[in-house]
Structure 1
């Protein structure tokens, strides 16, 4: 039978290869296990020297910030004015931009890459174009119409395949909050990006435990933790970084010092508490732009400090225009 393009098949092939030294916190199939919030911008936060690129990328998102860098100052301010109107309409529509509305906007722009990836997946999975993705659609698009023993002659590969299929179905059922076996766009986002949703936290922890807990005692022992990061070749001396990881396990992962990680400790490791970066940036922009110190921003206040929010050709940060966003 014809197989759809699938990461799964590549993973099964890669599993047979030798394992090179990964970076710390490397996860299954070369993906990191620890879900850190991405920085709002890689640019330095250097307002004191008139460099507002960090603020531009935080407020607009990196790709849209590039677009603004191609605009004249007049065009840039006009588009910023439309964004201000959108921020207020998305909130209470009182004619002012509150801290909460500003934070919500920044968080929204920073999630654009997730929305883009979900849109691409949606087009693949919603095969009957009914505006929902059923489990059967997702399964068939990802795994094909699998029958045990049909595609794999290798028993171990077939077993791995079946486990991955069962695991994806379990995750789908958790993401499907109304239990109708049909995913809305929000539910598909939770399936594809579970680390972004509090109600998916337990499934992320469970999947991590299953990957690492080789003796199936419900815990991650230090050797299981190391085995996820490093596989020694016969006669090979253990690298120094592996000992560093043992110390990390002992000093920072094993919070109750019992020599192993339980589910709570795994959660603290792979889904660590994160600073609310959009709120920090919203507070910063509010503080710098709120000229009358009433704790909110008028459109005039934002446009009066427009070059902190957005760039233009005049800022000398211009880069090639790479993308157009109709939403701005």
Structure 2
């Protein structure tokens, strides 16, 4: 029965319509070991977005289902559920579903790394130097410096900042400190969330993103504005009010009104949190009627 209900739930997800809006899901800042979806985890009302479940379950195959007929979708999904049910007992357990989600996560990451490695390393060298990568991604900045009359100077400031950030991340991913990245190190660079030794650089980048006044810490208003872009004259949703309390009671551990680097790390890298396990529990809950 569980197998049928899970299949029915996922079939419903395949027909779901993306929800876009003014909210940035606050849980998205929590560092996932492997990202489950490009879709925001929650919609404008703070409710779980079914498109997130759709992507977490199907991984990089999710786009293919948008072009299938209902009959083809059901057949493909039934085959996937059969693969998830590894012990072939007719049921999908939480462990089996979690294992499948982890598989789809890693498959996406590995395929993305392979694609970008080939794109940025067309000669098939064993390692990629920072300068070679920089020229491919940010080489246009060199051209602009040679032509100072370029009217895009202001917009290029942000690209220069991105280049500096990427170079810092590159150095962190470069474990043997030779200035070049091998394929495994390139994976650290592209997907730092998947590597323990890259966690601090992600925390630093997160702090820099939210810290708009650049004082090295995150205020309550900076924290809220990162996740909620409501109009000035509208009433804040209850979940935003709840987040204000979360900041005061739990995020700001030392009660100084701000989040420093360590407090940001406690927030986005929570101890003993497995996102694939949480998503598996959610899918089981949504589809398990008894």
Query: TM-score, length-normalised on structure 1?
Result: 0.54
Mapped to 1, the partners of 2:128 and 2:244 lie a distance apart of: 43
Which residue number in structure 2 is paired with residue 209 of structure 1? 207
| 8 Å Cα contact 2:22/2:230 also seen in 1 | no
Structure 1 residues 234, 262: closer, same or farther in 2, change over 3 A?
Answer: closer
The Cα offsets for residues 87-114 of structure 1, whole Å up to 9 and x where unpaired, read as xxxxxxxxxxxxxxxxxxxx78862322
- On the 8 A contact 1:36/1:272 being kept in 2, the answer is no
**Alignment map for 1:1-328 (pairs within 5 Å):** 20-25=21-26, 32-37=28-33, 50-52=90-92, 54-56=94-96, 58-59=98-99, 61=100, 111-147=106-142, 148=144, 153-233=151-231, 235-275=233-273
Structure possessing the higher relative contact order (Cα contacts under 8 Å, 6 or more residues apart): 1
Deviation at 1:37, TM superposition (A): 4.4
Distance 1:257 1:169 in 2: 34
Give the aligned CA root-mean-square deviation in angstroms.
3.6
Query: SS in structure 2 opposite 1:157?
Result: helix
Q: Secondary structure at the match of 1:229?
A: coil
**What secondary structure is seen at the aligned counterpart in 2 of 1:144?**
helix
User: Cα distance 1:124–1:257, how it changes in 2: closer, same or farther (>3 A)?
Assistant: same
CA distance in 1, matches of 2:178, 2:153: 34
Q: Which moved more, 1:157-166 or 1:49-58?
A: 49-58
Distance 1:237 1:109, change over 3 A: closer
Structure 1 distance, partners of 2:203, 2:187, is 18
Instruction: Point out where structure 2 has 5 or more consecutive residues left out of the alignment.
Output: 1-19, 37-55, 58-80, 278-290
CA contact (8 A) 1:125 1:141 kept: yes
- Counterparts in 2 of 1:161 and 1:177: CA distance versus 1, 3 Å: same
Match of 2:16 in 1: none
Q: Distance in 1 between matches of 2:274 and 2:212?
A: 35
Identify the residue that residue 63 of structure 2 maps to in structure 1: none
Counterpart-to-counterpart distance in 1, 2:178 and 2:249 = 44
* Aligned partner of residue 145 in structure 1, secondary structure: helix
1:110-155 CA-to-partner distances (Å, cap 9, x unmatched) read 6232211111111111133212122123223323332345596244
Structure richer in helix, relative to its length: 2
- Per the alignment, do residues 164 and 257 of structure 1 end up closer, same or farther by CA in structure 2, a change over 3 Å counting? same
Q: Conserved in 2, the CA contact under 8 Å of 1:190 and 1:197?
A: yes
User: What is the Cα deviation at residue 179 of structure 1?
Assistant: 1.5
Q: CA deviation at 1:266?
A: 0.4
Larger radius of gyration: 1
